[in-house]
Structure 1
């Protein structure tokens, strides 16, 4: 059974990843509009959307969201370590 620290970490990391993803999606959408001059595809799977545009959107969104999640989780891990004196067990180096 998970202890309270483990549950606390999971809640904090989940909230940070959600918030980071929300902000990233807004920022990526805005950057797409400024760069391409048009709205991003709402349904990239549709055959009506140009394949290059759909692939571009998928790559930009996928990479951007993962970077956002990574940075948010690392920031929370840093704060967690400052507050508790150690990183969560699964983030500690194995060396």
Structure 2
């Protein structure tokens, strides 16, 4: 059950978190800037600074949310089903020996 839980929480949770973070960031951007997010790099109405700002905000925001969700999933799976339910690269004993 633990390995299945990891697949659901680890992979599924990260993907859902990324979608939710992107949606939330889009809403905040559109409310604060009073225009849609710059999705077309060839749009002449969008300046380079605005396109770069959106890329940085959305990229960092999504990455942070995915990191937090994955760490929470690791802790949850480890505490409920033990270290062996995690992939080898995420197990505590693999990290202590220096294996990657």
Question: What TM-score do the two structures reach when normalised by structure 2?
Answer: 0.76
Cα distance in structure 1, aligned partners of 2:25 and 2:43: 23
Equivalent position of 2:73 in the other structure: 76
Equivalent position of 1:90 in the other structure: 89
Q: 1:75 Cα deviation (Å)?
A: 1.4
Q: 1:11 Cα deviation (Å)?
A: 4.6
Equivalent position of 1:50 in the other structure: 47
Q: 1:10 Cα deviation (Å)?
A: 4.0
Equivalent position of 1:25 in the other structure: 22
Q: CA RMSD in A?
A: 2.1
Cα distance in structure 2, aligned partners of 1:11 and 1:30: 27
Cα distance in structure 2, aligned partners of 1:24 and 1:47: 24
C-alpha distance after superposition, 1:18-37 (max 9, x if no partner) = 11011101110011012212
Question: What TM-score do the two structures reach when normalised by structure 1?
Answer: 0.79
C-alpha distance after superposition, 1:40-78 (max 9, x if no partner) = 1122x2152210110000000110110111011111111
Q: 1:83 Cα deviation (Å)?
A: 1.4
Cα distance in structure 2, aligned partners of 1:27 and 1:51: 23
Cα distance in structure 2, aligned partners of 1:56 and 1:39: 13
Any stretches of 5+ residues in structure 2 without a counterpart?
none
Any stretches of 5+ residues in structure 1 without a counterpart?
none
